[in-house]
Amino acid sequence: MTDTSADLVVLGGGSGGYACALRAAQLGLSVVLVEKDKLGGTCLHRGCIPTKALLHAAEVADAARDGDQFGVKSSLEGIDMPGVNSYKDGVVSRLYKGLQGLVKSRGVTYVEGEGRFVAPNAVEVNGQRYTGRNVVLATGSYSRSLPGLEIGGRVVTSEQALALDYVPEKVVVLGGGVIGVEFASVWRSFGADVTIVEALPRLVPAEDEFLSKQLERAFRRRGIKFKTGVKFTGATQSASGVSVTLESGEQLDADLLLVAVGRGPSTSGVGFEEAGVRMERGFVLTDERLRTNLPNVYAVGDIVPGLQLAHRGFQQGIFIAEEVAGRNPQPIDEAGIPRVTYCEPEVASVGLTEAATRERYGSAETITYDLAGNGKSQILKTAGAVKLVKAPDGPVVGVHMIGARVGELIGEAQLIYNWEAYPEDVAPLVHAHPTQTEALGEAHLALAGKPLHAHG
């Protein structure tokens, strides 16, 4: 076995791993990037990108079906799933080609194969050992299931759901978090009968309670059924369908059961424990500088406890590259990472919820601006709101939004949070008219005590 050494050996080529490799190479370090599957990882091939393509197709379907309300005579003839899939796969393959080119052009040594962390400074892959002055663990996550719930046949995870070549007539979605509500939204737009089952008391339970209530109201209007605060007890498959039983004794029959109960860290069988990496429930524990308990070994992305988001992994990867290159970067504030759920209507937030603010500061000031007062939202015929949360005598610490396209507003929202803006700082800024960003401006005017338009 030959031994190759580099400044940085990265195990995993998803958002966190490839961002780390590219930034490190840019900073003049020698880099080895190891990936067993495809460069780009879950996000590009089985996550963010393909699901958002489906959600866009769903939006087009809704627009065609509802053209009448805009005086446009359009109707929906049907959904051609092979056509939808070829559009989705085209988007993925163009991005994949671009990413491959980028890694090649930056001089990163790319190794395809299943890597194993064999010593505190070495990764073994295809019988070859790569020793790094620094090692980055970036092995990502997998779709979890529940104990006793076998994936297969009519019981699928998001991975199989993305490859379906038909629209199921009836679907039960197990899990009302981000992945669950996004798929529920797609299938409803495509004409399916959808029921979400969530064990926690509300949909998108990690969001501010206000957003959950608003989303539930919107889903009711769309005819998406959901049962919250109820536990799943079992599923049985037959040739014609799947039967789901709940703790309440209720039974739901469907063509398909989507298991969307979250993602687990892909850390078993890759040598982490044997090498002495400190772990908890399968996650790799790090400090705020993403260092593990082993010297010069870092961890990034979905294997580190916290939000499992591609852009979090991406930013962490850049942070580690700069850290290793001696740039001494600022630690990432987890609350400052924007969160978007791309169902219809969209849900977007950054910073603390009202409950978390009260817990941290003892009290909170909030204001809610209804999108009914926003010109562009009226044009788009979307309902929703912007809710701001402010620390007592302090800056805005939470921005929570719901409505069509509000994911696009999160850029300004995260600046407001991350730059610790006070309502008075944002109020005088000019927002273009008519745009939905005006809703952010109006909400800050109101919070600064000078609302221009009367408020509900």
pLDDT at residue number 450? 75
pLDDT at residue number 454? 52
- The fold adopted by the segment(s) 4-141+264-325 is FAD/NAD(P)-binding domain (3.50.50)
148 assigned to a ligand binding site: no
pLDDT at residue number 456? 45
Is 433 part of the annotated catalytic residue set?
Answer: yes
Query: Residue 435 contacts by C-beta under 8 Å, 6 or more apart in sequence?
Result: 376
**Domains of the chain, residue spans:** 4-141+264-325, 155-261, 345-448
9 assigned to a ligand binding site: no
Closest CA to 346 of 386, 405, 414: 405
198 assigned to a ligand binding site: yes
* Cβ 339 vs Cβ 311: under 8 Å: no
pLDDT per residue, tens digit, the chain (456 aa), is 677 999 999 999 999 999 999 999 999 999 999 999 999 999 999 999 999 999 999 999 999 999 999 999 999 999 999 999 999 999 999 999 999 999 999 999 999 999 999 999 999 999 999 999 999 999 999 999 999 999 999 999 999 999 999 999 999 999 999 999 999 999 999 999 999 999 999 999 999 999 999 999 999 999 999 999 999 999 999 999 999 999 999 999 999 999 999 999 999 999 999 999 999 999 999 999 999 999 999 999 999 999 999 999 999 999 999 999 999 999 999 999 999 999 999 999 999 999 999 999 999 999 999 999 999 999 999 999 999 999 999 999 999 999 999 999 999 999 999 999 999 999 999 999 999 999 999 999 999 987 666 544
204 assigned to a ligand binding site: no
Catalytic residue among 56, 400, 433, 444: 433
Domain 155-261's class?
alpha beta
CATH of 345-448 given 3.40.50.2000, 2.60.40.420, 3.30.450.20, 3.30.390.30:
3.30.390.30
**Exposure b/e, 378-417, CB count within 10 A at least 16 = b:** eebebbbbbbbbbbeeebbbbbbbbbbbbbebbebbbebb
Give the CA distances from residue 371 to residues 96, 110, 381, 400, 440, in Å, rounded to whole numbers and listed in that order: 37, 48, 10, 13, 10
d(CA 33, CA 136): 10
Token pair belonging to 111: 């190794």
| Topology match between the domains 155-261 and 345-448 | no
